[in-house]
Copies of this chain bind each other. A is one copy, B any other.
């Protein structure tokens, strides 16, 4: 196993394809890689501008699109809990999927061997060559579940 060369991997990949390493791309990519959670485009712009003020919103979207097409990042909907924006995370930490609590809006990451098996089965059964798999679950986290009383799920009051 290498030391910690993981850090520059996306930029290396871009360079390897003959793409230009502009200061903007560096700032955007490094921001995504250093981010703890899931970033939306607006947040990514703000954070990237701390590293390189000359980053424009359009460039963020163009770079996200590029990284998506190169399969270096994954796009998440996270059940669109607030608005229609999307979120992004690096592929390296991939394999997991996301649970969104519809009450407290927290996002939980999870994985289980059955998920990998499912992908394999889908590939085998359908003949698809799979590029992206997005599994998202919406529900109520254990904390919110207790908090909202132990009665029946989905009382009218809560949903209407």
Contacts and interface: CB of A to CB of B under 8 A. Distances in A.
A77 interface: yes
Contact of A70 (B70, B115, B126, B159): B159
A32 interface: no
Contacts of A102: 131
Contact of A133 (B114, B133, B137, B145): B137
Given A139-B129, A140-B129, A156 B84 contact: no
Contact of A118 (B101, B118, B129, B134): B118
B139 A125 contact: no
B121 A131 contact: no
A149 to B, nearest CB: 13
Most buried by B among A134, A141, A142: A134
29 contacts: A69-B159, A70-B159, A71-B154, A99-B126, A102-B131, A108-B126, A108-B128, A110-B125, A114-B114, A118-B118, A126-B141, A127-B145, A128-B139, A128-B140, A128-B141, A129-B139, A129-B145, A130-B138, A130-B139, A131-B140, A131-B153, A131-B154, A132-B137, A132-B138, A134-B134, A134-B135, A134-B137, A134-B138, A135-B136
Interface of A: 17, 69-71, 75, 77, 79-80, 84, 99, 101-102, 108, 110, 112, 114-115, 117-118, 121-122, 125-142, 145, 153-154, 156, 159-160
